[in-house]
Amino acid sequence: MKTRIINKKLLILLMVMVSFSCQEDFLEEKPLSFLSPDNTYNDAAGLQTALDAALRGVLTQWNGDTRELMFNSNMSDASVVSATDKPDAFVDLRVYATPTNSRNNDAGRARSFYADNYNHIKKANTVIDFIDNPDWDGGTANPERNHLLGSAYFLRAFFYMQLTMDFGNVAFPLTVAAEAKRDFKAFYMQGIWDQMIVDLEYAVEHMKPKSALALGQPPKDAARILLAKYYMLNERFAEAEQLMDDVINGGESILFTDGMIPSGVTEVEVANTNNPNTGNPLPGRSGFAPVDAVNYLHMEKDNQKLSNPEGIWYIVNTPFVLGTQGRSARIRAWGPNFVSTNLGVWEPGTTRTGTDVQQSTSDSRGRMMKKWGRGQGFARPTNYSQYEIWNYDGVVDEQDYRHKDLNWFEMEDVLYDNPSLEEDGSPYYMQPLRLYDDDGNLTCLDTIRCWFGYPRYKFFSTNFQDRPDRQDGGKMSMYVMRIAEAYLVRAEARFWQGDYAGTADDINTIRTRANAMTMYTVADVMTDGIGAVLDERNRELFGEEYRHDELVRVSVILAKTGQAAYNGKTYSISGTDIEVSLSANSFYYDRMMEKNNFFRDEVPWATYNTTKYTMDPMHIYWPVYQPYLVGNVGAVLNQTTGYNGAESNIEPLTHIIQPAGVPNIDPMEALNQD
């Protein structure tokens, strides 16, 4: 009986199996979804994810203590690499700015400027490649389609500006490679600029204004500012000026002034008056500065920046909000390392560390660190940034909001707080730091990293969420572009056209808002030349601009126009290769030798006496990290002029401009080079 039951069960099972086998789809795998471009980029939301990935590349350049924005400044007249514990940093450029230097941190960021920017461009290219995957209502006339496409064009142009300013002639992918590609060739940068202009003109036409976008998304006015810079590279100065007229008069953003400060606001905190962990007072002066248009503009409290009318394009990074990034660490990056134990600040007359290096949330330890922040001194201002631009005929301007007391940090704001000084009855305990003792001896040997002033008002943000024990710069939103820059871009466009009165007017608009002591006259602009614009950019945009790239861009314009610079020199381009010409002779190099005292004077380090700042004309552009080139086995991908490997360079390709509004084809394929 048992055997019959089993056989009956087997018969039923076989019947079931046969019935299933008669169906065509039996055992056919049916995944819930495929992660493919056709499935991912089939609507606006999918394309926006790729755009946001490219957009995050901008945040990573700003957010964090060793990032690309800081390095770009450190290769300019504004500041220098000052990580004095790394002798192979981009300091002694003759020795260590090489294609084999693998540094990719506070000591140098040439590697990530190259590799990461191509990664960001790939994400923008993804949007462009798949822009017509969705079934757009109205086809190519759909406003949402065209905004997304324009935004991708903008971000791609943003990163190609950096690549051409930093490396010269570079590879120029406009599409996402369908398979591994190992035959890239460099293109002349001029053709890259010409394509970016066509793309950005489309972007300006189709991108949405700030008022129609979520915070953090780049708006139409950001594209106008970038396009104006590209226009000026091509000597289209009147068109650049018109773009800035559109930004300034468009009403989407306006310059923030004293009259716009909310009623009842009398002060802005630019340092921690109280321990943010306990609420108890910290020793020393108050961290509250009298309110003014500048410190309020940059105040992080209550997400003020994100509603300030001056902002055009923001990085949004708010504490305790899901999806925001890590702490900004901007104090850590830009502030002096006054807690260093390596040739840092000593008690006068001894070699004992004068400040408390203990990181703690308590009230008893690390008090100056909690008040002023744990700076690491990765970006040291030059004497030009720290002193010269604030000195007018021997008078230091301390009424300018950007340089006034407390807004501008001075080392004497810090007190000696090492507990051992109190235990030993030192007369210096809780007294302001001193650079010299009573006998005139330095109390800080590593002044490059550990002793300098800087515009603290734009870097301060309390650490509430990450590392509250060190207070080195908490999460903060940042302006990538604001309307003050639009005035200064217009001042530059007017200068190139010989409108010196207009240049002075725009500069003085910014200086009036800042309560500066003096104003520029037409005679001043004629004497200082383009230096008048560059100086005001440094006062207003220190730590906010890609300063190296601005100097290189101006160098291109001077070489193209042949216009005499304020130094009496003229520059030129021999043939079609801008990179080769500027690597031999440029305004950038002459400006560095004039304004950057570290490179000009070949200042040595106290920490490594064999390391000193050195620079040659070729260092206008940076080396491409050699491993990025050796894998390109199908063709020669050029090394930057002057560096090892450049002797094998081949003639760069000349790009054929492609129309905007539709997906690109590979530029090498267009030239039958693929």
180-204 pLDDT, tens digit per residue, is: 899 999 999 999 999 999 999 999 9
The whole-number pLDDT of residue 481 equals: 98
54-102 pLDDT, tens digit per residue, is: 999 999 999 887 899 999 999 999 999 999 999 999 999 999 999 999 9
The whole-number pLDDT of residue 323 equals: 63
Q: How many residues does the chain have?
A: 674
The whole-number pLDDT of residue 163 equals: 98
The whole-number pLDDT of residue 1 equals: 37
The whole-number pLDDT of residue 35 equals: 57
The residue type of 506 is D
Architecture of domain 39-219+634-670: Alpha Horseshoe (1.25)
Q: Please, are residues 171 and 114 in contact by the beta-carbon 8 Å criterion?
A: no
264-294 pLDDT, tens digit per residue, is: 999 999 999 999 999 999 999 999 999 999 9
Q: Please, are residues 519 and 512 in contact by the beta-carbon 8 Å criterion?
A: yes
Quote the CA–CA distance of 371 and 310 in Å, as a whole number.
29
**Which residue in 126, 115, 129 sits closest to 170, CA to CA?**
115
The whole-number pLDDT of residue 327 equals: 81
What average pLDDT is seen over the chain?
93
The angle at the Cα of 546, spanning 568 to 570, to the nearest 5 degrees, equals 15
The whole-number pLDDT of residue 127 equals: 98
The whole-number pLDDT of residue 524 equals: 98
Rg (alpha carbons) of the chain, rounded to whole number? 28
379-431 pLDDT, tens digit per residue, is: 999 999 999 999 999 999 999 999 999 999 999 999 999 999 999 999 999 99
What are the beta bridge partners of residue 314?
479
Q: DSSP states of 223-247 as a string?
A: HHHHHHHHHHHTT-HHHHHHHHHHH
Quote the CA–CA distance of 483 and 488 in Å, as a whole number.
9
Domain boundaries, given as residue ranges, for the chain:
39-219+634-670, 264-309+317-476, 479-618
Residues 6+ apart with CB under 8 A from 34: none
Helices (H), 319-418: 330-334, 367-372, 383-386
The residue type of 478 is M
The residue type of 458 is K
- Please report how many Cα atoms fall inside a 13 Å half-sphere around the Cα of residue 671, on the Cβ side: 16
The whole-number pLDDT of residue 324 equals: 67
The whole-number pLDDT of residue 341 equals: 83
The whole-number pLDDT of residue 420 equals: 97
Residue 526 tokens read as: 């004629």
How far apart, in Å, do the first and last CA atoms of the chain sit?
A: 77
Q: What is the largest CA-CA distance in the chain?
A: 116
452-486 pLDDT, tens digit per residue, is: 999 999 999 988 887 888 888 888 899 999 999 99
Q: Please, are residues 472 and 377 in contact by the beta-carbon 8 Å criterion?
A: no
Quote the CA–CA distance of 88 and 84 in Å, as a whole number.
10
SS3 659: coil
Q: Please, are residues 361 and 377 in contact by the beta-carbon 8 Å criterion?
A: no
The proportion of the chain whose per-residue pLDDT surpasses 90, expressed as a percent, equals: 87
**Which residue in 352, 308, 631 sits closest to 482, CA to CA?**
308
The whole-number pLDDT of residue 322 equals: 61
Segments in the chain below pLDDT 50: 1-29, 31-32
The whole-number pLDDT of residue 467 equals: 84
SS3 263: coil
The whole-number pLDDT of residue 19 equals: 40
